[in-house]
Structure formats: C-alpha cells, structure tokens
Chain A
Amino acid sequence: MSDDNSSTRRGPLGRLYHGETAIDFYGRRHYGFIVSGALVVITAISLFFSGLELGIDFEGGVAWQVPASPTLDSEVARSVVAQNGVEMANAKVQTLKSGELESIRIQVGDQSSEVRSAVQAALAVAAGVDINEVSVSSVSSSWGRTITEKGVRALVVFLILVSLYIAWRFEWRMALAAIMAMLHDVLISSGIYSLFGLEVTPATVVAFLTILGFSLYDTIVVFDKVKDNMERFSASRTGIADIVNVSMNQVLMRSLNTSLAAVLPVISLLAVGSGVFGAVALREFAVALLVGLLIGSYSSIFVASPLLTVFKERESHFRNLRGLHASGAELEHMVVTGNATGSKKVRRQTEVDTGSSQASPVAPGSPLTHPPRPRKKRRR
C-alpha cells in the first residue's frame, strides 16, 4: 500500500465509508469457491441422508394446538391423542410459548375428520378449556403434494424468465452467474435446514423467496456497475478481473448498507417479535429470512461476481488479458478515480511518479475527455 495519497491515510473503516477500498476480490476468488464448494458438498450429504423436514402443508397431516393448563402437559396430550387411535410413532409434540400463553402443539399424519374432531374434543376436556380454544389444522397429503409441485413449477418458470431478462438486459454470462449464485443460495439454505432439522413450512418458503429476490437484486446492482465500467474501460486494455474488482469495491459500501438495512428489521423480528413476544409464526419467518439473507449477501460478493469473471475471461476480448490484474495501489487508483489506467501503465506510472501527485486526473480512455472544471471558490 502506498501512502502518497491523502485518501489512503484513512483507516479501513474510513476507506469503506468513502468507497475507497481496494480489496482484491478476484485474487481471492478461490477462497469463495472453496468455501461454497464445501458447503454444497455438506448440503448434498445432509440432504441425501437426512432429507428435509417438511411441515404438514407439504406432506399432509393434522396438527392440534391447545393451551397448556395445569391438567395438560405434553405427556398428557400425547396420551390423549394416542387414546383416539392415532399412530404416534412419528408424532411431534412441542410446547410453544407465545408471550404469557403456553400452548402444546401435536402434529401427526393424515387423519379422518372424525378422528380430528374426536381428538379436538378430548384435548379440550383434558385441558379444561372450551372446544373452540383448540385449533386444528389439517392438510391432505394430495393437497400437500400439489402445493409442493406448484411451488417448484413457479420457481422454475421464474428462473427461466429471470435468466431471459438478465440475458436481454445485460448478457447471458451475467444471467448464468446470477442464476448459479441463486441456486447456490437455495441449496445451502435448504442444507442448513436439513442439517439442523428445522421444519420447512410455507412461511419458510415465502421467506426464502424474499431472499432469492433480494440476493438477485443485490447481484444485479453489482452487475449493473460492471456493465457500466465495461463501457467506461472499453477503450483501454483493462482485464475483466480489474473491471469486476473495481466494480465490487465501488459498490461494496452499498452492498453492505443494503444488507444491513435488510438484516436489521429481521433481527428485530427475531429478537423482539419471537424472543420478547414469543410469536411462533414470526420465528419461522425470521429464522429463514436471516439464514437466507446472510447467504445471499455472501453469494453476491463471493460467488456471483467471481463466477462472472471466470465466464468473461473466456471471451476473446478479455482472453489476452488473463492473469494480469491490478491490486493494491493500482486497484485503489482505479476504484477512487473510476478511471481506467491499464495495469501496465499504472505500474509504470507508479514507478515514475512515486511520491508526486502530478499524475493527470484524467486517464486515457476515460469518457471524461477534459479535466473537470475546478470548483469555484465560494464565500464563506
């Protein structure tokens, strides 16, 4: 790192704040790929061996929820349900806390409506509450399948449409990189759910879809910058690695800001909503959102953009420039000025001009053909 330039004297946070970071994302792409690869492998293993725990909305089944009372704890509830001839081998009995209220949720496979009502009545008696206090949810297994199938179909159609759109608006390599990053998000998110045995409910799916949209949005903002810079640098011999690096650094603060702006409400939802108030339905959302958001932020920086670089390097225009990319001062120069320098030229320049600040503010190839007008002196 050179220190011939006032802007580099800031601390790391200051540079981040002023958009003057010079992180060599391209040079470190392998770390991202290794981490992601490892996560994908773990996901595959976990999905293969333990699978996903799907909620009743996808598999069909019945769930009763009854307020807990002195006469009814989860053991009593279990036996009450079993007495009605319900197979309890795969049953799940949970105690849920929702603020002051504590309730017990019993979830079993598909049951006939008679059994549903009988258990509802029995639970109400056991808990000493009105029958209407016991809520029952049931989903037939065929309906569960329909929901799953429709959801998957919608996702596939969505992926195709989005790829077409990005290919049209940007280019197909960007579409490929964005979609791969998104699939990576889906895979790893479901891997986390599989690994920790979290239940997948419609709320989870909704939350994941939000995240997919968000991560895609994030990726597109980065790609938009890349496209911008590709035009800007088109006249100079600048490698795609440099362009992506510059773009990433330029939008880094924005990416972090956006992720933070998205994560803050989610953390609040998780901490305040489900922690303090104990709203169970909110926890499902918040956990999925948080998981997805973190992975989405990670992937748009460490997966999507490096992938794009790898794809673009095969293009004839950039092929010759492979292997050469700026880092450190050169990269910083490009990030701060937003001007192409061409790595060789900068290298020469930094050798010659070390310690001086006489470098022309306008580099060859910049769309700005003349130096910007100096700011007028204003009265203070």
Chain B
Amino acid sequence: MSEISPAEWTAILLSLRVAIVATLVATPFGIALAWLLARRDFWGKSMLDAVVHLPLVLPPVVTGYLLLLTFGRRGLVGGFLADHLGIVFAFRWTGAALACGVMSFPLLVRPMRLSIEAIDRRLEQAAETLGAAPWKVFFTVTLPLALPGVLAGMVLGFAKAIGEFGATITFVSNIPGETQTISSAIYSLIQTPDGDAAAGRLVIVSIALALGALIAAEWFARRATARLHGN
C-alpha cells in the first residue's frame, strides 16, 4: 500500500481538529450534566436524560437536519450567533465540530456519570465536616475521584466524534479542506473509480484511531477502580 497523500492528510488533520475541539468544548458541559444526573433530583430529570441520549437513537441525518434548521444561517440560533457574535457554523469546520460534539455527547457523559455515581457520598460528607464548601468538595474530592471516568468519557467521545458521518455531512456538507473529515473523504473515495487504495488507507487510519481510543478508555476505567480503593 502506498503512502498517505496530501489530500488524505488534510482530511485526517481536519478530523483530528474537529474531534479535539468538539471533545474539549463538550467536556465541561458533560461534567456538569453528569454531576447533575448523578447527584441531584429535580423535575424533568428523566426528560433531560432522554434528550441527552437522543442523538444515540435518532437517525444521524435527522440530527444533522435539526442542526441545520437551528444553527444554519437562517436558523434561530445560527442567525443570532452570526449577526451578533460572528460565529458561523453552516458549511464550516466549526459546524462539523458542533455536529460531532452533539453526536458524541451521550457517549462522553455516560462514563462521567457512572464514575460520579460510584463515588462514596460519605467521603463528600467527610470533606464538608472538614470545612469544605460544596464547590470545594466538588473540586477536591468528587472531581479527582471521578477523573479516570472523566478521561474515559473524553476518549470515547473523541473516538465517536472522529468517526461521525451522518449528521456532519447533512449539516455542513462534504467540502475538502473545510468540512471533509476522514469519514466523508472515505465516502467520496469509494464513489470514485480509482479511490479504493486511498479509501483503504483512510479505513486503516480510522480503525487504528478507534482501537487506540477504546484501549485508552479501558485503561482509564481500570485506573478509576484502583483509585477508589486507595492503592
């Protein structure tokens, strides 16, 4: 198999950029939501939980279309952001990052939520009796103990984001150098008569990235267990 061409590198690097930005932006929201779902009871909690999981079960093309309606130039949110803050999502790599962030969000939140739920609340009480205000309890006890789960969620979210296809291509199309990620590049290549070799190379890159992410997530999960046992 021959070497990776500049065009393929562009798609790979764009995918990495999109997935990294999507993951980093989604993480604080993911932690906040995971904490909310794990630690608080409030009206509409199961509804919120369902909405978060929606991208997992909706056809990706539907999610992409909804993003287009909402964040497109003429969309309610998209129009406002473009006019007032100069942030444009439609047909830009930022839009691809948004689509990937939304699609990977359920996978990102889940390990975070599980690891927060697994923390012994009595440790948080102990911290409180030692003079820690609730936000300090969160940053000195809850978050450090949940850290392996948080990292596992980031890794899984990243892996999902880098492979996202349906919602991305629906929302921001398939523009080389701007919105053409590995997945959309493979899609284009297999429809091109001589694209097989190039598609094959990108397929291998995809598999390597996904496998690497899964192994990393597994490793973080094992670290989490060791950490909770205080070894």
Q: Do A and B come from one complex?
A: no
Q: Which residues of B line the A interface, CB within 8 A?
A: none
